[in-house]
Structure 1
Amino acid sequence: MKQFFKIASLGAQRKFLQGLAGILFFFCMLWSTTIYFYQKNRLQEEAFRRTELVMAAVNANRAYIQDILRPRMYGLLGQDDFILEAMSTSFASRVIMEKFKEEIPNITYRRVAVNAMNPGFEADKQELEMIQYFNENPDEESWQGIREVGGERYYVRFSPVHYDTSCLRCHGKPEDAPVKILELYGEKNGFHMKTDQINSVVSVGIRVEEGLRRIGKFALSVFGTVFMSFFFLYAIIAFSFNILIVQNIRALLEIFRHNLTDHKGVLLYQQAQHMDEISELHTTTTLLAQHLQENRRKLEDYAENLEIKVEERTKALQKSQDLLHQQILSQGQELTTLNIIAELITQSVDLLSILPKVLRQTLKVIPAKGAGIYLFRADRQGLFLQCQDNAPELDDRFSCELASPQIPADMGKNTPPVSTICETGFDELNFFTTDLAEQKLLNIPLRCRNRLLGVMTLTDYNCNENDPKHRELLLSIGRQVGITMESLQNMASLIQGKDLLQSVFDAIADLVVLISPDDYLHMVNKAFLTRYRFSPEMILGRRIENLAQEYPTPFMLFSQISFIKLQEPVSDCKRLADGQFFETHYYPAFDDQGALKNIVCYAKDITIQKQVEHQMQQTEKLVALGHLAAGIAHEINNPLGIILCYTDLLKEDLAQSPDKLKDLDIIEKHAKNCQHIVHDLLSFSRNQQTTRTLGQINTAIEQVASMVSSQLAKQRITMTLNLDADIPLFEVDMEKMKQVFMNLIMNAAQAIGGKGENGKIKIRSRYLALNGQAEISVFDNGQGIAPEIQDKIFEPFFTTKGPKEGTGLGLSLSYGIVHDHGGEINVHSTIGEETVFTILIPLHGA
């Protein structure tokens, strides 16, 4: 029935409906296109009328200025003076149109020229084309049409600007131009114009983008409405044509399609594949007439020879049935043997354990006493016996080269086994007789893809050597065994290759994973498993995007690049939530057809490198700022000294004026404050001498804590010390280190602010014996430091305190002192919870 419907769909109904659909679609397109162009022409006519009015108004203004106002102004002012706003037609028309555009923004006006006096009104590419057009067509007074301006469509009308003699007063020779013009625009642009040449155009544009869009939508809606109307009309005609005509013809033809054949035995439906129903009906009538004539002749013949034909037909049917039964039994056993040999590949990957099973299964269908299998070793140029079943007379090995030998036409008797086995390597079945009790032997080549893998030798073989079907069965067994052997060898090679690839992956110390284009993990190296404490079963086959949501892996960028077709390596640098930096690389791997097969993802931990880079940048920044601060301090210090000197003098002169003395005290106070800041700047910028002596870090901490304890008590801040008694003597400048501790404690106290009794400062010292360093940490539970400014707090003058609470140099000085001792200072802060400054000082300094 599927064939029937396929034939019917190619018939007269399809031709009729295709023609009808084409006609209706043509008229639908014609209707909507006509409406579209009609509406578009109306829009252009309306736009033309509006541009004509605008152009007339502009020309009237220009004529008034050129013919009346400008000569009058020359008469009043003289020939060398020029008022741009009143005497320039270009300037006045542009200003008038700008005011006009404020009221009607959809209208644009431009007056441009080649080599314009004002560079802002130089002609663009489109306007240069129109200037060239008017020069080539001097009789044309305007050009109008729709053009795209700034990404939107405008109805634009261009008119040429003709220079007359009065225009050349300003645009002719520079020496003739008014002095005011030369002062405004210079002598380079806007001169040497000619009355017989067009160098300027005026354009008026009306935005028609919205109108054209509405016309398009209207035409599209008309097309949709007409199309739906025609579609319903088409459906009604198609339904009526199918019911009234096609179904009746098909019902008539269905009676004959699967029953009538021509004289060659070809069915009617096969002949009618490229016919429509009318042609098929004609063919059916012709065949029916031929069949009636042929059947009449056969009936006459059968009537005369009926009994003889029945007997012959019965014997032939019985013989065919018996032969078919025997073939089915034989082929079933052969297929079972081939299937069992093929299934052996699923039972083991060890070739030597499978070969004995192959021999036993082969001997069940081949009439032979015993058998053995030789495997070819190319490196040793020979065949070696791997196993045998009831064939002890077979030799263990044969040395032979697989160069094509001459195969005798008749092997005869007493043929050497080595000769026949070597000939088997060239896809030949060898039947031969040996000297051992004249038993018959058979060699079957074991081949796969034209490559010799071995030979199966059968002993005491007893079967018809010339039976083509039997020979094909033997070769099929050999090919199936060869396929099984190669599959096992390939599987072993794949396992070996996978183990080798995994060992290469595992040898890489950085993180390496293999990901499919659809985001699934195929392979990971040992470093990845060790770092995240995974087992292969936990992650292989999982999506890397889901894994990145659970664990901070550096391959989070893959969720972004997996949406695009990766064609070249991609690199990225990621900072994980735990603060570690990873440099990641993604390398695409393609198959032979160029399709993306896998993506190798490589990640290197560069956290230490980033920290070193940050410290180097910070140090370079502090050095540069130190030089700047030194210069500024020296420039400010001298004026401050003079101010203080004159302040002292004024105090002596104004000793009898207490009010003025108070003002001088304020001046002196702020001047000294400035001197203090300058002193800090100089201390920061100078590489002061560091005097290192052996001293106890804990003692310095205790002395500083004692100095500030009373002040902290007034602020109701609790300070606790947790000092490691095992810290040895360190070689440091104790006074400078006290300054560092003092800065950190005072910063902590100011950060705690108004917490009152809840304010806590904890100072802890530890000796890191393995690194030979002392670690001093200052904790406070203040307001914390925002992450975005943590990298800036060691910069000079950077402070979050109020104007009178500090200069912003304390941490910068501390940073310089610690680094001068070869140490490090770091900060870790959580907003609203805790801030920790950590100092690392080496035992013997820098």
Structure 2
Amino acid sequence: MRIPRPYTLQSQFLAGLTVAAIVIGALFAAGFYFQMQSVLEKEVREKAELIFFQVESVQNYVRKTLRPRMYQEMPDKFVIEAMSSSFISRSIMEGTPESAGHLLYRRVAVDARNPDFEAREKERELMQFFTEHPSIQVWQGRLMIGGTDHFVMARPVRFESSCMYCHGDPETAPPELIAKYGFRGFGREEGSVGGLDFVGLPISAQTGMVQQKVMTYLIIFSLTAILFFLATHLIFKRVVVNNVRVLTRMLRGQVRDDKGHELLRDVQSRDELGEMIDGVEMLGQHISESRHKLEEYAATLEDKVRARTAELARETGERKADVDLFVKLLRSLHRSQTRQQLWRRALPLIAGRFGLARSAYVCTYSSQNFHVWPQGAPRPEMPDNWINLLTESRLLVTGSEAVIPVESTEGNTEGLLFLTRAPGEVFRDDEHELLRALGRLLGIAAEYLGALDNIVRHSEKLQSIFEGISDPLLLMDDQGSAIVTNEAARKLTRELSEGLRDDGNVIPLLCANQGGDGSCDIRLTAAKGVFEAREVRLSGGRVFVLGLHPVAGGGGNRVVVHVREVTAERQMLDQVTQSEKMATVGKLAAGLAHEINNPLGVILCYSELLKKSADDGQKEDLEVISRHTRQAREVLKNLLNFARPKIATDKNTDIGATMDAVARVFSVQAEKRGASIMASAADDVPTVRIDPQMVEHVVTNLMLNALDALPPQYGLITARTDYDPDGDDVVLTVEDNGTGIPEDHLPHIFEPFFTTKEAGKGTGLGLTVIYGFLQDMGGRVEVANRPEGGARFVVRFPVTPTPRAERNEDHATC
């Protein structure tokens, strides 16, 4: 179907008015519809919130008032109808009157005690949504329930500590609850989302009412628009159409040629406004004047075209030269490193562009500093008002000379640019703006070079200071990424990564096993903006202290990390502390052993004498006394060995042979436990001047401890002897694949009477005696956990021992 195009003014006006009415009516209808929908949703939302408020009020009353009161009145009973907040809230909402409408309220849960309140698929999705988004407390939206559009509001039910009595451990739950519902609904965790309060209000009827109102509005609007169009048609015909006919008659009277008739037909076929009536006469006059001008221009057209073409060519050449000058100046800026180089390159370019006889620049910061072209020309004389030119940023042009202020972007004038043309050649007015732009460009370039020079100098100083610091130093952002690192940090990174990395970001290598996100909480420190220190211990025993210094930056918070290794300091402090403990306990042990040894000897002597005259029953009691007395003397013997170890000897002992002999003795016991012992010794191990019994004592204690730590099956103890030429030590290493030693026990492993064994299975003095003995001879013992599991003891025997002076010891005998 072809729609005819409206050519008349009246038809076009009515068509436009119709389109406008349709658009306005549609917009008003849409706005009215959305406004009604907004009011409807607001009313439904407020109603749902009121229901939630009512339910919450009932539940709070049950939890805070009714339930505690019931516990006071009936402490041994649990009345569900009066003490369960869920039961009471459901019962109240089920009794909602019919006048409230088809209200949908559900309090559901997963694995609910009452299967009627088991969560459905959509309710489970909402519970999962609240679990994944704990900060969101209410969800609201529209859902289709039972084929009816509902406005739904839901909120999670989180288990509090008071809920655990009925939903936690079934052993502590009220028996009435178990008798009614069985064991469903238990095992909940405090703070978890265990249920959902679900309120739904049907809005299909209200939506239909909104649509009906909108349709009513459209019908009324349409009828009103039809009446308005009829009235507009009559008024437009009388006011506009008549004026167009008058205009047409006037144009006919002025038409004298074919073009006039064509203009008349064009006016009659197009829509025009009433104001054109007054402009018709002006149109006729303009046509007449144009005819006379065309006749005049025809005679001088060729000369004017030639002059205008020459002027345009000149302007085009000047603009091209201007662009070329600015490009060359920018290239000179790129190649220049200092302001002197910039002016030496720029002045000849400026002189070439403007055809100058001389160009010069005078820096007003220093009256002796100037640059001139051609070289060797004298310094230009400063004008009398040169200070005003600087402060006001004003251009001074006098005939063939121009003085241009050179200013930066901030309005700071650095100097004056002097341009001098040959006599008789002057600067035109249209060149003034170009000269000002040239001054600003040169000022910005000079300022840029000065700032760049300062930045380079400061950067070099900071880099030399940063690299000169002997400790590792890093600048990191709040995401844990290294921005700048010094050589010490890169060296430590290569050392800890065994040459795999060289980026200087040592934080992941130090903090990988320290918990958290593996960055020693650098992000948290950057956010707080407070200095913090961290101590990091690596698996190999090395200790580092990290100083975290937050720095506020334009690109976000940053942290300067200072790393300092304190392994030697910590080892020295531990050795001093352990030595002080050993000295104190040694003095105590020596005196205590001496005082107790003699009474124990007397007890043992008399118990042996009484056995000879006692009957069988008494002999068993005396044997218990003797056994415990000998056990006490064994403890005293260890105390004496700990307090007064004897190391002075003239024997040269083969540590490897002694270790191998002890290993063979314990191999039988190890095989019974399903374990094995592997002993090996290097060929170049020298002998040590030491009592072989003390070596046997050391190896025996280490073997016993390793056997106790082995797993039930496939246990393995490895013992080996090596020689360390750097320290001139014989190194005995005993390792096992057991459970290892807890990290919090490692600092106390050599303390007297410290043991993790059961009562009666260890005195806690074995490792203490070894530690004291090796200290007296100038050796040492070290312990650490193996990365693959188990413990490792390293004993170092100096080839040339430095024993203390021996002291006499008294032994009590019977």
The TM-score range, normalised by the shorter chain, is 0.5 to 0.7
- 1:97 and 2:74 are equivalent in the alignment: yes
Q: Which residue of structure 2 aligns with residue 337 of structure 1?
A: 325
Alpha-carbon contact 1:717-1:760 (below 8 Å) kept: yes
1:774 and 1:99 map into 2 onto residues whose CA distance is 78
Unaligned 5+ segments in structure 1 are 1-6, 59-92, 109-147, 155-212, 253-286, 408-419, 434-439
1:603 and 1:50 map into 2 onto residues whose CA distance is 55
- 1:504 and 2:465 are equivalent in the alignment: yes
1:422 and 1:303, CA in 2 relative to 1: closer, same or farther beyond 3 A? closer
Q: CA deviation at 1:651?
A: 0.6
Give the counterpart of 2:772 among 787, 806, 816. 816
- 1:647 and 2:607 are equivalent in the alignment: yes
Q: CA deviation at 1:495?
A: 1.5
Q: Superposed, which structure 2 residues align to 1:414-813 within 5 Å? A: 427=393, 429=395, 442-448=402-408, 449-461=410-422, 465=426, 467-533=428-494, 556-557=518-519, 561=523, 565-591=527-553, 596-619=556-579, 622=582, 640=600, 643-654=603-614, 657=615, 661=619, 664-681=622-639, 683-684=641-642, 686=643, 688=644, 699=653, 701=655, 708=662, 711=665, 721-722=681-682, 734=690, 741-750=695-704, 753=707, 761-768=719-726, 774-783=728-737, 786-788=740-742, 789-799=745-755, 806-813=762-769
2:37 and 2:295 map into 1 onto residues whose CA distance is 67
1:332 and 1:651 map into 2 onto residues whose CA distance is 129
Alpha-carbon contact 1:445-1:455 (below 8 Å) kept: yes
Q: CA deviation at 1:502?
A: 0.9
Q: TM-score, normalised by structure 1?
A: 0.58
Give the counterpart of 1:827 among 783, 792, 805. 783
1:235 and 1:444 map into 2 onto residues whose CA distance is 72
1:805 and 1:607 map into 2 onto residues whose CA distance is 35
* Secondary structure of the corresponding residue to residue 565 of structure 1: helix
- 1:360 and 2:357 are equivalent in the alignment: no
RMSD between aligned residues: 5.9
Q: CA deviation at 1:681?
A: 3.3
Deviates more, 1:826-835 or 1:319-328: 319-328
2:505 and 2:587 map into 1 onto residues whose CA distance is 54
Give the counterpart of 2:368 among 372, 376, 383. 383
Deviations, residues 579-624 of structure 1 (Å, cap 9, x unaligned): 32221122222247xx735322221112222223333444455567
* Secondary structure of the corresponding residue to residue 74 of structure 2: helix
Alpha-carbon contact 1:13-1:242 (below 8 Å) kept: no
1:47 and 1:782, CA in 2 relative to 1: closer, same or farther beyond 3 A? closer
Q: CA deviation at 1:21?
A: 2.8
1:149 and 1:529 map into 2 onto residues whose CA distance is 51
1:741 and 1:372, CA in 2 relative to 1: closer, same or farther beyond 3 A? farther
Q: Which residue of structure 2 aligns with residue 217 of structure 1?
A: 198
* Secondary structure of the corresponding residue to residue 217 of structure 1: strand
1:510 and 1:44, CA in 2 relative to 1: closer, same or farther beyond 3 A? closer
Corresponding letter in the other structure for 2:332: L
Q: Superposed, which structure 2 residues align to 1:192-203 within 5 Å? A: none
1:808 and 1:510, CA in 2 relative to 1: closer, same or farther beyond 3 A? same
Q: Which residue of structure 1 aligns with residue 337 of structure 2?
A: 349
* Secondary structure of the corresponding residue to residue 21 of structure 1: helix
1:342 and 1:233 map into 2 onto residues whose CA distance is 72
1:240 and 1:648, CA in 2 relative to 1: closer, same or farther beyond 3 A? farther
1:312 and 1:530, CA in 2 relative to 1: closer, same or farther beyond 3 A? farther
Corresponding letter in the other structure for 1:762: R
1:41 and 1:757 map into 2 onto residues whose CA distance is 67
Corresponding letter in the other structure for 2:699: I
Q: CA deviation at 1:670?
A: 3.1
1:629 and 1:366, CA in 2 relative to 1: closer, same or farther beyond 3 A? same
Unaligned 5+ segments in structure 2 are 1-19, 86-156, 164-193, 233-270, 670-675, 805-814
- 1:33 and 2:33 are equivalent in the alignment: no
Q: CA deviation at 1:486?
A: 1.8
Q: CA deviation at 1:383?
A: 3.4
Alpha-carbon contact 2:716-2:736 (below 8 Å) kept: no
* Secondary structure of the corresponding residue to residue 509 of structure 1: coil
Q: Superposed, which structure 2 residues align to 1:167-178 within 5 Å? A: none
1:790 and 1:493 map into 2 onto residues whose CA distance is 55
Corresponding letter in the other structure for 2:639: L
Q: Superposed, which structure 2 residues align to 1:22-171 within 5 Å? A: 22-34=35-47, 37=50, 96-101=73-78, 106=83
Alpha-carbon contact 2:537-2:543 (below 8 Å) kept: yes
Q: TM-score, normalised by structure 2?
A: 0.60
1:472 and 1:618, CA in 2 relative to 1: closer, same or farther beyond 3 A? same
1:675 and 1:240, CA in 2 relative to 1: closer, same or farther beyond 3 A? farther
Q: Superposed, which structure 2 residues align to 1:388-403 within 5 Å? A: 388-395=372-379
Identity, in percent, stands at: 18
Alpha-carbon contact 1:383-1:454 (below 8 Å) kept: no
1:531 and 1:228, CA in 2 relative to 1: closer, same or farther beyond 3 A? farther
1:366 and 1:422, CA in 2 relative to 1: closer, same or farther beyond 3 A? farther
1:718 and 1:427, CA in 2 relative to 1: closer, same or farther beyond 3 A? closer
Number of matched residues?
619
Deviations, residues 274-324 of structure 1 (Å, cap 9, x unaligned): xxxxxxxxxxxxx97453334334334335434135568999997888766
Deviations, residues 204-231 of structure 1 (Å, cap 9, x unaligned): xxxxxxxxx999731xx32887898789
2:503 and 2:515 map into 1 onto residues whose CA distance is 16
Corresponding letter in the other structure for 1:308: H
Corresponding letter in the other structure for 2:720: K
1:54 and 1:567, CA in 2 relative to 1: closer, same or farther beyond 3 A? closer
Deviations, residues 782-833 of structure 1 (Å, cap 9, x unaligned): 4457142444431333456787765331210121233345653212452567
Q: CA deviation at 1:573?
A: 1.9
Alpha-carbon contact 1:446-1:456 (below 8 Å) kept: yes
1:632 and 1:391, CA in 2 relative to 1: closer, same or farther beyond 3 A? closer
1:522 and 1:344, CA in 2 relative to 1: closer, same or farther beyond 3 A? farther
1:97 and 1:513, CA in 2 relative to 1: closer, same or farther beyond 3 A? same
2:553 and 2:561 map into 1 onto residues whose CA distance is 17
